[in-house]
A and B are shown apart, each in its own frame.
Chain A
Amino acid sequence: MSLPIAELVPPHIRAFEAYVPSKPDPELMRAYKVDHLHRLNNNENALGPPPAAARILAGFETPRASIYPSGDCYTLRQALGERFGKDPERFLVGNGSCEVIASVIKAFCDKGDNIVTADKTFAVYEWVAEFSGFQARLIPLKDYGYDDMGMLRAMDGRTKILFVCNPNNPTGTWWDRDRMERFLRVVDGRAIVVLDEAYREYVDDERFPDGMELMERHPNVVVFRTFSKMYALAGLRVGYVCGQKEVVDYIRRTHIVYSVNILGQPAAAAALMDDAEHIPATRAMVARAKELLLPAFDELGLEHVSGAGNFVMVRTPVSDSLIYRQLMRRGVMVRTMTGFRFPNWIRVSLVQEPVMRDFLTAFRDVIALSRSDGQP
């Protein structure tokens, strides 16, 4: 018999899967009996934050921990405004960009509304929509990229938000300016278009459409960015949304204040101001990692997919979760892709060369094992 508590819960929540974060590293190391663990599962930037941000962290005076932070990230928004040449009121900062995903959905969706996104992309758009009781229309990727025509066809009068992950996690594909412009013209302001640019700082290509510029001509465009990826502040949880003032004003009504901590705010602002060397250094690290990994995957005869972003996907001859467990036993943590609807693929974050070499040694081992008897 169900507990009375369960009877209080609406059906869409009962049916919903709670996201189960992985266990802390020491727990995992104990469970898999290893003395080190390379984290290649979350696309973190292994270089660490830019020096100015690192100094803020090192110089943090502990008594300040007892003080509330700015409730609306006042200083950080000033920095963002300055950096992008926009009114600071047009930025809304959250506890990671995941938090602003929820704020946007709450602001625009009502009972019976839907959102449109891809089937094989970052899961949070779909999750937040569904546990809030809104339908998520999931359009299959086409050639590993978002299918613009498919998304447009799926739109109807109740579609409030189109989520485009540009570049896409986990395939690294992105729409160029022309394709984005065409898409926005057809949407024609009928729905909010969210461009999740979590990995945009990894793209070094002038054909990449800049959401910050698009929103000036298309007021329904909203851009998400994060300090978790390129800026290497994932542990402090800072992300933001930017859009036209009117749009952001609506989102603010559903947004939680005081959700960004007192250390994250100045660290993010400092990181933003000190990225001139950090970004090229990170890109170089990623490029070098790709030079190592991609030929090795080819040599092993394994299909792989990568584009923009600090990650690659590789197709495994056996179940991705089996490869995960075998790699864990060798001190390497990757992401299984079944949850991204890419069964038998893993995603590997691109980091410094020595770690990539360790990964390759372990990976070759595991693949050889899987080929010797059909399973390790």
Chain B
Amino acid sequence: MPASHPQSLMVELPPDVAFLPAAAAAAENAAQVFGLDRSGALKLALAVEEFFSYLCRYAGREEPLRLTLSHGGTFVRMAFRFRAGEVSLRALNFAASVDVEGGGDSAHEEHDAELGLLVASRTTDRCSLESSGAGVYVLLAEVDRQYPEAEPLRSEQVLSGPVRVANPDGAPASEGQLRHAALLAAGRYPARSCPASFHRPARFADMVAYGQYHALLASDAAGRPAGLICWRGSGPRSVVFSGPYVFDANPDHTLAKETARLLTERFLAAVARTEPVCAFSERPTADVPEGWFESLGTLTLRGLTAEGDEGGEPETQAALFRHLREDVGGAVWAHPDMVPFLERQYDRLAFSRDILTTEERPIQRAPEHSLLATSFDRRRGLAILRPLLDGQDFAANLAAHVAALEEQAPEGQPGGAMPDILLHLDLSEPWQAALYPAISACGFQPRLILPHAGSSDLLVCQHVPANR
């Protein structure tokens, strides 16, 4: 439950390795106050040490490094804010491998520093870089609290009406109800339709308690859990929802449909007067009521069809969307090669967008190394790549990521199906749009647009393996 402790700790550190113990001690202390176990705290402290010593060497020296440690609910986050200086963050790439053959002394030093960064990024659960104004970056890493995995519940219950959803102003769902509902959903729906946390229900309940997720529960006349829908913010402009999940053995049961409709309506009522302008889902269930969302297109995913199943038949999955208010239009950046696809999609969706074109990128002016963020859900066999920094090695770096991901077999299935690989391009960034030819050459194809999902719309590209 949310503690009464302060939820963050901020330290300003001069960029001097002499302060390494101070950084590490702050991390360890905060990690423990914020609920990590011993090994989690050590991981966080290690990451802080490695990042700090790297930034001492390469970040701009004109201001102190600001370290913020914060309680994220189910995880603890460290964030270093720094000026770019001469940093190369290529070691943060998922596919990074540090060349052991060093040149002279300085190359050797650089190698050690990058190795440290690599170790730090691998020991944390997530690691990313955000730009925060000209030349200012924030390097983030998170270590998750540990939660036990639980067996999904398979239930043959048939609901009895009337079904109710608690009023938004009513008492929030209890931890026990949330855990129960998560396990029922995990038992009824394929893994691809569920957030990973449904399999660690205490984590799911904590995510709701800490506001990382919002959830609405339905219950039937007998007081049993009847359904669940949950959502979280995705950037400032959109919410992403999962569900609705309905716990009735017969999905054609009128009451099951009614439950799904009620949950969807309440979800929309809850977000309608908040900041986001749209809601979407990349993993809708078959219970989403008809006519409530627009299809943005479909993705054909090979991944797992149910927990433990090896990648069976490829499945198509619709991405659903709706605005929460009138669309006021907007502008997106595109490489000329993307324009036909974007025009077709925007026209089909009746979206008003000004498509601004950007030509080839001036590769000589780009820094040497690019950086890609990778999120990889082993259970679903799905990887999502996002370009964070442009660099001269972008094409090679992307190819290395694809190769590295294709070597990753699903959890417990060595040699099993290869993961699906998606790439998200933020169309508010001309430099990202300009990467398109390289992305296309690497075997990615444009699939759909997620409106407002980034700073503006996101273009989702999917990797199509050469042998298919």
Task: Please give the residue numbers on chain A whose beta carbons come within 8 Å of chain B beta carbons, in ascending order.
Answer: 1, 15-18, 20, 22-23, 27-28, 31-33, 41, 119, 123, 126-127, 137-138, 140, 317-319, 321-322, 324-326, 328-329, 335-336, 338-341, 343-344, 374-376
Bound Cα distance from A360 to B79, whole angstroms? 56
User: Residue on A with the closest CB to B138?
Assistant: A1
Q: Is the CB of B265 within 8 A of A324?
A: no
Check B169 against A338 for contact (C-beta < 8 Å). no
Known contacts A1-B132, A321-B327; is-contact A338 B79 (Cβ 8 Å): no
Instruction: Check A341 against B327 for contact (C-beta < 8 Å).
Output: no
Verify if B167 is at the interface (C-beta below 8 Å from A). Answer: yes
A328 surroundings in chain B (CB, below 8 A): 350, 352
Q: Is B357 an interface residue (CB 8 A)?
A: no
Contacts of B169 in A (CB 8 A): 137-138
- Kindly report which residue of chain A lies nearest to residue B322, judged by CB atoms: A319
Closest to A33 in B: B352
Residue of A nearest to B290 (CB): A374
Which interface residue of A17, A138, A329, A338 has the most chain B CB atoms within 10 A?
A338
Chain B residues near A343 (CB, 8 Å)? 264-265, 268-269, 272, 292, 322
The answer, yes or no, to whether B328 is at the interface (CB within 8 Å) is yes
CB distance from B4 to the nearest CB of A (A): 16
User: Could you tell me the distance between the alpha carbons of A17 and B349 in the complex, rounded to whole angstroms?
Assistant: 26
A sample of 21 cross-chain residue pairs with beta-carbon separation below 8 angstroms, ordered by A number, consists of A1-B68, A1-B79, A16-B275, A17-B274, A17-B275, A22-B328, A23-B328, A140-B167, A321-B322, A322-B294, A325-B349, A325-B350, A328-B352, A336-B326, A338-B323, A341-B272, A343-B268, A343-B269, A343-B272, A375-B295, A376-B350
A324, B327: Cβ atoms under 8 Å? Answer: yes
CA distance A87 to B305 in the complex (A): 74
Residues on the A chain within 8 Å of B293, using CB = 319
Residues of A contacting B324 with CB < 8 Å?
321, 338-339
Q: Within 8 Å CB of A376, what residues of B?
A: 350
Q: Which residues of A contact B275 (CB under 8 A)?
A: 15-18
Contact between A31 and B291, CB atoms less than 8 A apart: no
Q: Are A339 and B291 in contact (CB under 8 A)?
A: no
The answer to whether the Cβ of B5 comes within 8 Å of any Cβ in the partner chain is no
A375 touches B272 (CB 8 A): no
Interface centre among A23, A31, A344 (most CB of B within 10 A): A31
Q: Which residues of B contact A138 (CB under 8 A)?
A: 168-169
Hey, which chain A residues are within 8 Å of B344, CB to CB? none
Contact A317-B327, Cβ < 8 Å, known A325-B350, A341-B272? no
| Closest beta carbon of chain B to A28's beta carbon, Å | 7
B407 CB, nearest partner CB in chain A, Å: 35
Which among B168, B274, B294, B329 is the interface contact of A31 at CB below 8 angstroms? B329
Given the complex, which residues of B lie within 8 Å of A321, measured CB to CB?
A: 322-327
List 14 other contacts, CB 8 Å, given A138-B169, A343-B322. A1-B132, A23-B329, A31-B354, A32-B329, A119-B269, A318-B294, A325-B351, A326-B350, A329-B350, A338-B268, A341-B273, A343-B264, A343-B269, A374-B291
